[in-house]
Amino acid sequence: MTTIRGTRALGSRGGRRTTACVLAVAASLCAAAPVHAGGDEGGGGAHCSRTAELMVQACRFEALDDLRVGQAQCLNLADAAQRQDCDMEARDAHREARASCAEQREWRLQACALLGEDRYDPPFTPERFDDDFAQLSNPNPYFPLVPGHRWQYAGGPERTEVEVLADTKLVEGVRCIVVRDLVYEEGALKEATDDWFAAGRDGSSWYCGEEAKDYERFDGDQPPAPELVGIDGSFKHGRDGAKAGIIMPAMPRPGMAYREEFSLGNAEDIGEIVVADYAWGRYPPLDALVPRALAERMCGQGDCVVTRNLSLLEPGAVELKYHARGIGLFLETRPAEGELLQLVGCNFDDRCAGLPTP
């Protein structure tokens, strides 16, 4: 899924102070009670908080596992000084990992306060979704899924190309369309992701899963082709306990909170609607980092949707995403880091002609 995080993973650099600031901005603009994609009606248990505590325990065990593997690797170094340095590095990494687990606990519990304590078991069944993307019952104007649509984004040294393919995936009986997301850094492929989205008959857009591939180039390789170095974040509804989530509600309202994906310890993004009537100057705190010319072109009717997005696996990392009716995502910002990724072209709307570039 197109994101400024790496564009997938810039890491957790926000810190509590800057995160609290962004949370406060969102809270001041969102007064409605949160809603959730699925849940345990009347269950009464603190299921979200209990899940958070279990995941923190898993985080600590993973940190210990990494320490033991690291120590085993150190043991097999012939040089005594190298063995000692290696062991110290492994122990330092373990302390940092334990501290990260503690930060993750606080972050997860904050998310539970936003999402509520219900179990997460969304109604992901075939009768709730369209299976013909050429004739959708209620197309979501803020997340269009039209085969052939293409977007181009730019920010810093990266350029991202997104295309809705004609390909589909059948996920637990639900027909999901494939959206290809390619990220280039200085002209070289960095990430290649196939995202799978479903169109709810009620107008909601759902995230069924993704096949994510991270690439890196290494000096001296001939030819200098990108090498696959990771598939972190890949998931599929129904596999290993993973569950689909909402990527854009049918009728976005301020305060709506929802899980975008649910693959514990692997892919755990959540979203919140900040405002559904954004226009340049209407909400000054949301204008930070936003190119005015871009916002005025996309949001001239005062009907853009702004979401706050975060990962439960990256404490402190917060993004704001700006969506225009008929176009979808046109801007992502990271206020704490001063970073942005903006739309620079598309092939289906006149507003994309001659867009400003970063």
pLDDT mean over 195-206: 98
Burial class (CB in 10 A: 0-12, 13-18, 19+), 198: buried
Per the prediction, the chain carries an average pLDDT of 90
Angle between helix axes 80-115 and 47-75 (nearest 10 degrees) is 170
pLDDT for 254 equals 97
For residue 6, pLDDT over 80 is answered with no
Q: Give 246-304 pLDDT, tens digit per residue.
A: 999 999 999 999 999 999 999 999 999 999 999 999 999 999 999 999 999 999 999 99
For residue 23, pLDDT over 60 is answered with no
Cα(98)–Cα(183) distance, rounded to whole angstroms?
32
Preceding peptide of 333 cis, ω within 30°: no
The model's pTM is: 0.88
pLDDT mean over 141-147: 98
Q: Is 57 left (phi over 0), alpha (psi -120 to 50) or beta?
A: alpha
Preceding peptide of 224 cis, ω within 30°: no
Of the chain, the percentage scoring pLDDT greater than 90 comes to 85
Q: Give 342-351 pLDDT, tens digit per residue.
A: 999 999 999 9
For residue 36, pLDDT over 60 is answered with no
Long-range contact pairs involving 229-236 (C-beta distance under 8 Å, separation at least 24): 232/9, 232/266, 233/8, 233/266, 233/267, 234/209, 234/210, 234/266, 234/267, 235/209, 235/210, 235/261, 235/263, 235/266, 235/267, 236/171, 236/196, 236/208, 236/209
Of the chain, the percentage scoring pLDDT greater than 70 comes to 88
If pLDDT is split at 50, 70 and 90, which confidence band does 16 have? Answer: very low
Q: In the structure, how many helices (H) and strands (E) does the chain have? A: 4, 15
If pLDDT is split at 50, 70 and 90, which confidence band does 357 have? Answer: confident
pLDDT for 83 equals 97
pLDDT for 28 equals 40
If pLDDT is split at 50, 70 and 90, which confidence band does 358 have? Answer: confident
For residue 177, pLDDT over 70 is answered with yes
Query: What DSSP designation does 72 have?
Result: H
For residue 41, pLDDT over 80 is answered with no
pLDDT for 31 equals 36
For residue 187, pLDDT over 80 is answered with yes
Q: Is 212 within 8 Å of 147 (Cβ atoms)?
A: no
pLDDT mean over 11-36: 37
For residue 237, pLDDT over 50 is answered with yes
For residue 204, pLDDT over 70 is answered with yes
Q: Give 89-140 pLDDT, tens digit per residue.
A: 999 999 999 999 999 999 999 999 999 999 999 999 999 999 999 999 999 9
pLDDT mean over 167-183: 98
Q: Could you write out the DSSP letters of every residue in 309-331?
A: EEETTSTT-EEEEEEETTTEEEE
Query: What DSSP designation does 292 have?
Result: H
Kindly list the distances between the CA atom of residue 284 and the CA atoms of 16, 217, 300, in Å, as whole numbers in the listed order.
22, 41, 16
pLDDT for 248 equals 98
